[in-house]
């Protein structure tokens, strides 16, 4: 089970005891002899290592995984390969391919689930917050894990949660190293698109995280079956049930988060781990979930622990043998004559004097211990407050609703001052910016600025006849830029010259912040007019229509001296539609 003590990989890494064995690799405890630090050495299955495509892909994935610098992700230190038997002490045929990673002293989330069963809401939040934080760091770099499951979540003895094995499944799948019909990843956590097409993105990791959250709340994944195919079929064809059907203490808000994260359609899931983490924070704030440390794995069995030889025990004079039974038997009465012995004191109803003295000393010790602890606590609190205790960290609020943002600020002992502003990208009612930026160190009680989006601006309703100055002020207040030129005028019979006639675009149009809006100004009444069509009307009616347009009517009979000048109009000059100056005379021919 263990490699020889002198085994070195790459003339640098000493291979130690076996830590874990999986389907694609074996993990050993090791030592980096160059930096004198403990490491974990993952040796890949020789069948995978023999594939050149897999080796090339793994090297690229290892470089990518090493770029993730986050406390919730297991660090990748090095990768390499060595010929089997070349001083490594590890058996097998073909090249030996290995990864050198951070050593996490503890166990896996699977160990915790086996020992405790369902974790409950606070502990599940404590674990998932760290897992999603680590995944979001990878997603920001464009990396996808593809195999999120409790076995790949490590928890140290001090409660640190870390995601492991970035890139291993990706290398296997994309290098074609899987056997025929094998679906890479653990089937209980595979997203429907991985089962159907083998493709995965950040939303696939979100799906697996949702399944894992379901298991933390209920103690088991949602789907089970006799074969992997039957489980995969359920992922593709069924919706994940609410965890509250199994665990009654799960609130509806948490049910909704699990169901939204595990939708079969990737488009309706949170876009990535950061989006799911933001929703987890909103649920935690809404439910006022208490913060608890992540659960730690149970201690290893005695046979797996490092043993230390016990110090030899000195036997009392006159005793024989080496076992405990021998020592006990030496204290038993020995038959035969006995010398002088002390007789027991009669019982006076109270404990012996030495017991009473011991109790008094214990009480005094307890009192002084309590006094010292209180003084130490006071000194510690004072030092904490004078040092880091006065300071707090600005939380990340962008994208949260205003009420949730105020709650997070209150938890961080900060005071929020809300202002509203138009924003092209952030939906109405969500925080679009903060001042100062997230993660800034602030004194407790500091007032911070929160900008809440009112959405994209729209052109306001400006009444005809409004002054240009008032119209420009209204447009600027709406987040738009007023524009006016000498050519932006139009005639109007009702709006006086110099007043606003209309805007272009019209009122109610949604625009981007700062986009220009043209103000069209009235040029007043025009000196010209279009001649109306009055043919077919009686002369008097036609004359009245012309007078309303400041035109004069002049009658002329078709048959001079015989016809009527006040009859029906059969012809007009100028013709209808012609543009003429006001007070122009229009000749009407009547019959």
CATH of the domain at 424: 3.30.10.20
Host domain of residue 398: 392-453
pLDDT digits (tens, 9 = 90+) for 9-40: 888 889 888 888 876 778 889 999 999 999 99
How far is residue 326's CA from residue 321's CA, in Å, rounded to a whole number? 6
Q: Which residues pair with 522 in a beta bridge?
A: 490
pLDDT digits (tens, 9 = 90+) for 529-570: 788 888 888 888 888 888 887 788 888 877 765 545 568 888
pLDDT value at position 87? 55
Is 546 in contact with 572 (CB distance < 8 Å)?
no
How far is residue 115's CA from residue 109's CA, in Å, rounded to a whole number? 10
Does residue 436 sit in helix, strand or coil?
coil
Does residue 236 fall inside a structural domain?
yes
Cα–Cα separations (whole angstroms), residue 466 to 52, 118, 489, 519: 77, 68, 14, 11
Tokens 């939906």 locate to: 427
Where does a domain end: 230, 262, 287? Answer: 287
Is 135 in contact with 167 (CB distance < 8 Å)?
no
Does residue 384 fall inside a structural domain?
no
Where does a domain end: 483, 501, 522? Answer: 522
Is 68 in contact with 40 (CB distance < 8 Å)?
no
121-140 helix and 202-218 helix, angle to the nearest 10 degrees: 170
Is 39 in contact with 96 (CB distance < 8 Å)?
no
pLDDT value at position 560? 65
Co-location of 80 and 159 in the same domain: no
Least confident span in 174-188, 363-377, 432-446: 174-188
Does residue 406 fall inside a structural domain?
yes
Co-location of 127 and 193 in the same domain: yes
Residue 143: CA count within 13 A, CB half-sphere? 27
Range from 169-178, 201-210, 312-321, 424-433 that averages highest in pLDDT: 201-210
Co-location of 122 and 254 in the same domain: yes
Is 157 in contact with 106 (CB distance < 8 Å)?
yes
How far is residue 309's CA from residue 294's CA, in Å, rounded to a whole number? 34
pLDDT value at position 240? 93
- Predicted confidence (pLDDT) at residue 329 exceeds the cutoff of 50: no
Q: Which residues pair with 391 in a beta bridge?
A: 443
How far is residue 335's CA from residue 331's CA, in Å, rounded to a whole number? 12
How far is residue 303's CA from residue 251's CA, in Å, rounded to a whole number? 42
First to last CA, the chain: 124
Confidence of residue 154 (pLDDT cuts 50, 70, 90): very high
Positive or negative CA dihedral for 395, 399, 400, 406? Answer: positive
How far is residue 162's CA from residue 296's CA, in Å, rounded to a whole number? 12
How far is residue 351's CA from residue 397's CA, in Å, rounded to a whole number? 65
pLDDT digits (tens, 9 = 90+) for 487-517: 677 777 778 877 888 888 889 898 998 899 9
Concerning whether 226 is annotated as a catalytic residue, the answer is no
> What is the enclosing helix (H) or strand (E) of 589?
strand 585-590
45, 51, 75, 147: the active-site residue? 147
Co-location of 279 and 261 in the same domain: yes
Does residue 78 sit in helix, strand or coil?
strand
- Close Cβ partners of 471 (under 8 Å, ≥ 6 residues apart): 462, 482, 500, 503, 519
**In the chain, helix, strand, coil percent, each to 5?**
35, 20, 45
Does residue 365 fall inside a structural domain?
no
pLDDT digits (tens, 9 = 90+) for 158-217: 999 999 887 665 545 554 444 333 444 478 999 999 888 888 999 999 999 999 999 999
Cα–Cα separations (whole angstroms), residue 70 to 132, 139, 167: 11, 12, 16
Co-location of 411 and 434 in the same domain: yes
Q: Which residues pair with 589 in a beta bridge?
A: 556, 571
Co-location of 499 and 545 in the same domain: no
pLDDT value at position 155? 95
How far is residue 189's CA from residue 243's CA, in Å, rounded to a whole number? 15
Is 319 in contact with 327 (CB distance < 8 Å)?
yes
Higher pLDDT pick, 433 / 23: 433
Co-location of 132 and 217 in the same domain: yes
- Predicted confidence (pLDDT) at residue 55 exceeds the cutoff of 60: yes
Range from 47-61, 233-247, 373-387, 531-545 that averages highest in pLDDT: 233-247
Co-location of 253 and 141 in the same domain: yes
Is 434 in contact with 394 (CB distance < 8 Å)?
yes
CATH of the domain at 65: 3.30.200.20
- Predicted confidence (pLDDT) at residue 373 exceeds the cutoff of 70: yes
Residue 156 token pair: 């140290």
Where does a domain end: 64, 79, 102? Answer: 102
Cα–Cα separations (whole angstroms), residue 261 to 43, 254, 271: 34, 11, 9
Residue 524 class from Cβ within 10 Å (0-12 exposed, 13-18 middle, 19+ buried)?
middle
Is 569 in contact with 556 (CB distance < 8 Å)?
no
Residue 341 token pair: 């012995």
- Predicted confidence (pLDDT) at residue 307 exceeds the cutoff of 50: no
Nearest to 148 by CA among 196, 209, 214, 200: 209
Co-location of 579 and 497 in the same domain: no
pLDDT value at position 336? 36
Residue 563 token pair: 């016809």
Co-location of 50 and 150 in the same domain: no
Is 410 in contact with 288 (CB distance < 8 Å)?
no
Is 74 in contact with 123 (CB distance < 8 Å)?
no
Q: Which residues of 451-470 are buried (b: 16+ CB within 10 A; e: fewer)?
A: bbbbebbbbeebeeeeeeee
- Domains in the chain: how many in total? 5
Q: Which residues pair with 229 in a beta bridge?
A: none
pLDDT value at position 334? 35
Q: In sequence order, which ranges of 117-251 are alpha helices (DSSP H)?
A: 121-140, 168-174, 192-197, 202-218, 228-237
Backbone dihedral angles phi then psi of residue 460, each to the nearest 5 degrees: -75, 160
Does residue 556 fall inside a structural domain?
yes
pTM confidence score: 0.51
Residue 113 token pair: 């689930």
pLDDT value at position 1? 42
């Amino acid at each position: 089970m263990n490699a020889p003590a002198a085994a070195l990989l790459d003339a640098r890494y000493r291979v130690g005891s076996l830590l874990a064995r999986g389907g694609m690799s074996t993990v050993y405890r090791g030592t980096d002899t160059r930096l004198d630090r403990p490491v974990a050495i993952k040796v890949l299955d020789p069948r995978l290592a023999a594939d050149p495509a897999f080796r090339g892909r793994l090297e690229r994935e290892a470089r990518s995984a090493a770029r993730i610098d986050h406390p919730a992700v297991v660090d990748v230190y090095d990768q390499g390969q060595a010929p089997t038997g070349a001083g490594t002490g590890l058996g097998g045929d073909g090249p030996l391919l290995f990864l050198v990673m951070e050593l996490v002293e503890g166990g896996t989330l699977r160990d915790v689930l086996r020992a405790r069963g369902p974790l409950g809401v606070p502990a599940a939040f404590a674990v998932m917050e760290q897992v999603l934080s680590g995944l979001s760091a990878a997603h920001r770099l464009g990396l996808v894990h593809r195999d999120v499951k409790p076995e790949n979540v490590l928890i140290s003895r001090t409660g640190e949660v870390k995601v492991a094995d970035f890139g291993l499944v990706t290398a296997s799948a994309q290098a074609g190293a899987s056997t025929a019909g094998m679906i890479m990843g653990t089937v209980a956590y595979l997203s429907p698109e991985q089962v159907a097409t083998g493709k995965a993105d950040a939303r696939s990791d979100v799906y697996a995280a949702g399944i894992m959250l379901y298991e933390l709340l209920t103690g088991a994944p949602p789907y089970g079956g006799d074969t992997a195919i039957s489980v995969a079929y359920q992922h593709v064809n069924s919706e994940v049930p609410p965890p509250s059907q199994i665990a009654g203490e799960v609130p509806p808000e948490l049910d909704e988060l699990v169901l939204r994260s595990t939708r079969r359609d990737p488009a309706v899931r949170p876009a990535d781990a950061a989006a799911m983490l933001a929703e987890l924070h909103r649920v935690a704030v809404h439910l006022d979930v208490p913060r608890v440390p992540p659960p730690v794995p149970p201690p290893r069995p005695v046979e797996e622990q490092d043993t230390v030889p016990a110090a030899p025990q000195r036997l009392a004079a006159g005793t024989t043998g080496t076992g405990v039974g021998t020592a006990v038997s030496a204290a038993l009465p020995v038959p035969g004559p006995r010398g002088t012995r002390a007789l027991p004191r009669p019982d006076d109803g109270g404990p012996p004097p030495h017991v009473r003295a011991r109790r008094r000393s214990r009480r005094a010790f307890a009192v002084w211990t309590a006094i010292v602890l209180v003084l130490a606590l006071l000194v510690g609190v004072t030092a904490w407050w004078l040092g880091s205790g006065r300071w707090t960290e600005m939380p990340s609020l962008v994208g949260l609703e205003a009420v949730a943002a105020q709650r997070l600020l209150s938890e961080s002992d900060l005071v929020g001052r809300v202002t509203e502003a138009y924003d092209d990208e952030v939906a109405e009612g969500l925080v679009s910016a903060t001042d100062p930026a997230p993660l800034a160190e602030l004194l407790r009680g500091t007032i911070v600025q929160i900008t809440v989006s009112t959405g994209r601006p729209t052109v306001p309703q400006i009444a005809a006849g409004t002054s240009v100055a008032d119209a420009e002020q209204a447009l600027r207040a709406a987040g738009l830029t007023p524009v006016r030129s000498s050519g932006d005028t139009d005639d109007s019979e009702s709006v006086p010259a110099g007043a606003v006639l209309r805007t272009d675009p019209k009122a109610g149009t949604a625009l981007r912040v700062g986009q220009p809006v043209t103000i069209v100004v009235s040029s007043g009444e025009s000196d010209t007019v279009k001649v109306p069509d009055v043919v077919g009307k009686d002369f008097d009616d036609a004359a009245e229509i012309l007078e309303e347009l400041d035109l004069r009517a002049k009658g002329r009979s078709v048959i001079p001296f015989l016809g009527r000048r006040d009859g029906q109009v059969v012809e007009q000059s100028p013709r209808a539609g012609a543009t003429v100056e006001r007070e122009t005379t229009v000749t009407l021919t009547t019959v």
